[in-house]
Amino acid sequence: MARIVQPDAAGIAEAVDALRRGEVIGLPTETVYGLAADATNDTAVRRIFSVKGRPETHPLIVHVAEAIELANLTTEVTPLTRALTQTFWPGPLTVIVRANQKVSRAVTGGRDTVAVRCPAHPVAHAVIHALGCPVAAPSANRFGAVSPTTATHVVVDLGNDIDIVLDGGECEIGLESTIIDCTSDSLEVLRPGAVTVEQLHTLTATLSDSSEQRVSDGTASESRAPGMMQSHYAPRARLVLHEPGDHFDTDGAPVLDFSGDLSTAAHTLYARLRALDASHIALAHVIVPPPGGLGQAIRDRLTKAAAGG
C-alpha cells in the first residue's frame, strides 16, 4: 500500500530517488495530483499507462521545472507561445507544441507534438528541479474516473500500484490545466481550465497584428486531443445537471450546488463527487455555474462527469 510522504527534504529526496529508479509516484500540483514518471525513461512512462489503465495513444503532459526548458522539447518557441508561457507560467496552462527528436514518442502517443506545462506547486517544482529532467504526468486516478485533489484520494485509487504519494495538501485550483494547441497562428483551447478564454483574449489583444479572432474554443475532436472523451471525470453516481435558477424535483436525492463562488466550486468539485460514491449515493442533482470565466471549465467537467455514472 502506498505511503503518504511529507514533502520535507528527506521526502523530496526519496521521491526523486524513486523517479530515478524508473518508478511512478503520486505528485501534488496546483491543478490535481499527478501520476509522475521520468519523461526520458520509456519503461517508466509505459508504467504510467499500465497503472492508470490508459490507452497508450492518449498523450501525457510533460512537466518542466522552469519555463526556459520548453526550448529543449520543441523545434521552435513561437512568439505567441512565448507570450503565453511568460504570462501564465508557472501555472495551470498546458501548451501543445511541435516536439523535437529528444521527446520520447511514448510520451506523445506517437505524435510529433508534445504537451508541456510548468506547474506552480512548490513540491512539484522541487521534485522536477532536483530530478534534473522533465516529468510526464496524467492525473493520478484510474482512466475515466474522478481526478484526485488530495494525497488520500491517490492512495484510495492507486495505492496498490504505487509506493509513495508526496503530500502537498489540497490542490489549490482543483481542475486540470487549460490545454492550448499552439501549433498554428491561432490558439485553440482543447480543454478549458483555470486560465480562462477571457484571459487569453486579453493577452492576444495586446500582441501586435492580432485580434480576438486568434483564440478559438471549439470543442476538441478525438483526433485533435486524443483522450478528451465524452465521458470522463465520472463518479459511479448518476448526475442530473441543472442551470442556476431552474426548478426541479429532487425526489429526496442530494443537491450539489456549484453556482456560487467559482474558485471554491472548482477547488471542491472532485472531493464532492468522490463523497457521493463514498456514501453509496446512486443519483445526485447538480447545479452548474454560468459559463463565463472559470465557470466554463467547471461546466465542462460536470458535463463529462454526468455522461458517465
Contacts with Mg ion by CB under 5 A lie at 139
Tabulate helix, strand, coil % of the chain (nearest 5): 35, 20, 50
Please tell me the distance from the alpha carbon of residue 145 to that of residue 105, in angstroms, as a whole number: 25
C-alpha grid cell, residue 123: 513540491
Number of H-type helices and E-type strands within the chain: 8, 14
Q: Verify binding: residue 151, ligand AMP, rule CB under 6 A.
A: no
Please tell me the distance from the alpha carbon of residue 142 to that of residue 135, in angstroms, as a whole number: 19
Residue 9 C-beta: closest distance to Mg ion, Å: 30
Return the H-helix or E-strand segment holding 240: strand 238-242
Would you say 39 or 61 has its CB closer to ligand AMP? Answer: 61
Q: Which stretch binds ligand AMP (CB under 6 A): 41-49, 225-233, 236-244, 294-302?
A: 225-233
Per partner kind, with CB cut-offs from 5 to 8 A, the member of ligand AMP, Mg ion, none near residue 254 is none
Residue 54 C-beta: closest distance to ligand AMP, Å: 8
Residue 253 C-beta: closest distance to ligand AMP, Å: 29
Would you say 197 or 284 has its CB closer to ligand AMP? Answer: 197
Q: Verify binding: residue 273, ligand AMP, rule CB under 6 A.
A: no
Strand partners, 26: 35, 165
Q: Verify binding: residue 26, ligand AMP, rule CB under 6 A.
A: no
Q: Verify binding: residue 82, ligand AMP, rule CB under 6 A.
A: no
Please tell me the distance from the alpha carbon of residue 14 to that of residue 110, in angstroms, as a whole number: 31
Per partner kind, with CB cut-offs from 5 to 8 A, the member of Mg ion, ligand AMP, none near residue 271 is none
Please tell me the distance from the alpha carbon of residue 180 to that of residue 19, in angstroms, as a whole number: 28
Find out whether 48 and 136 touch, Cβ atoms under 8 Å. Answer: yes
Q: Verify binding: residue 305, ligand AMP, rule CB under 6 A.
A: no
Residue 173 C-beta: closest distance to ligand AMP, Å: 13
Would you say 36 or 60 has its CB closer to ligand AMP? Answer: 60
Q: Please, which of residues 186-215 interact with ligand AMP by CB under 6 A?
A: 190
Q: Which stretch binds ligand AMP (CB under 6 A): 14-22, 221-229, 235-243, 268-276?
A: 221-229
Per partner kind, with CB cut-offs from 5 to 8 A, the member of Mg ion, ligand AMP, none near residue 103 is none
Residue 20 C-beta: closest distance to ligand AMP, Å: 22
CA distances from 51 to 97, 145, 163, 182, 216 (A): 27, 13, 12, 30, 34
CA distances from 277 to 158, 167, 219, 282 (A): 16, 23, 29, 8
Find out whether 93 and 117 touch, Cβ atoms under 8 Å. Answer: yes
Q: Verify binding: residue 108, ligand AMP, rule CB under 6 A.
A: yes
Label the pairing between strands 93-98 and 113-117: antiparallel
Q: Verify binding: residue 227, ligand AMP, rule CB under 6 A.
A: yes
Q: Verify binding: residue 15, ligand AMP, rule CB under 6 A.
A: no
Tell me which residues touch ligand AMP (CB under 6 A).
Answer: 58-61, 96, 108, 111, 113-115, 138-139, 176, 179, 190, 225-228
